[in-house]
Amino acid sequence: MSEKTLPIPPVVLDHPLVLHKLTRLRQASTSTAGFRRLTRELSLLMCYEATRDLVTEPVEIQTPLEKMEGQELSGKKLCFISILRAGNGILDGMLDLIPAARVGHIGLYRDHDTLEAIEYYMKLPDDVADRDCIVVDPMLATGHSAAAALDRVKAAGVKKIVFVCLLAAPEGVAWLNEKHPDVKIVTCAIDRGLDEKGYIRPGLGDAGDRLFGTR
């Protein structure tokens, strides 16, 4: 009988800039434009941590003064995979930092009665199996949508995945650790828990609605 894979502990960012911007993001008075801007800024900070383990290789370059050996990313570039629709708010900022990355999209919605994830769209790069992938979604609530998305990404042959979210609930972290213990979670905070409707408390509301001004 094989040993059970131990889950990778979630990485919770505690940088002062993250704490400050997340507090502003949570506020009900923050406008749609402000919410988008703060999400974009936080995505840059989260991307820095999510890409910490990327492999580099030496390369000889010429500075204005002399030749030297620097480092550049090794192998194929990253793939960012956005869980629609709210994941696009994080995706945009990460592409600012790594514009050469490929992009995939997975469309899932949560059944409000069963809280299960239902797929309506998926498009990934043809060579996604050869790339490290960062899957993005602002909220890790029950974890069902995230786990379903990771199921599909792994079915496409991807071996190394990091999941990035603005906020997580303990229930979502536990579910993702159970279903995908090999996936590292990077988040700005793990909140108190879920309410009876499956929303993160204290949370920041519905990230998609706040990003796109639909409520």
Q: Is residue 130 among the annotated active site residues? A: no
Q: Phi-psi region for residue 203, left (φ > 0), alpha (ψ -120 to 50) or beta?
A: left
Q: Which of 206, 210, 214, 215 is catalytic?
A: 206
Q: Which of 24, 92, 110, 182 is catalytic?
A: 110
Whole-number pLDDT of residue 1:
40
Tokens found for residue 83: 């869980």
Whole-number pLDDT of residue 75:
75
Q: The pTM is what?
A: 0.92
Return d(Cα 149, Cα 39) in angstroms, integer.
21
Whole-number pLDDT of residue 42:
97
| pLDDT tens by residue, 72-85 | 988 778 999 999 88
CB 35 within 8 A of CB 211: yes
CB 201 within 8 A of CB 181: no
Q: Which of 113, 114, 126, 215 is catalytic?
A: 114
Q: How many CB atoms lie within 10 A of CB 140?
A: 28
Q: Is residue 206 among the annotated active site residues? A: yes
| pLDDT tens by residue, 42-58 | 999 999 999 998 889 99
Tokens found for residue 175: 């579910």
Residues in the chain: 215
Instruction: Tell me the fold of 11-212.
Output: Rossmann fold (3.40.50)
Known binding-site residues equal 85, 110, 137-145, 200, 205-207
Return d(Cα 99, Cα 153) in angstroms, integer.
21
Whole-number pLDDT of residue 115:
63
Whole-number pLDDT of residue 213:
86
Regions of the chain short of the pLDDT cut 70 = 1-3, 110, 115-116
Which among 6, 158, 180 has a CA at the least distance from the CA of 80? 158
Whole-number pLDDT of residue 171:
97
CB 83 within 8 A of CB 90: no
Q: Is residue 110 among the annotated active site residues? A: yes
Whole-number pLDDT of residue 198:
86
Known binding-site residues for uracil equal 200, 205-207
Q: Is residue 114 among the annotated active site residues? A: yes
Return d(Cα 126, Cα 9) in angstroms, integer.
31
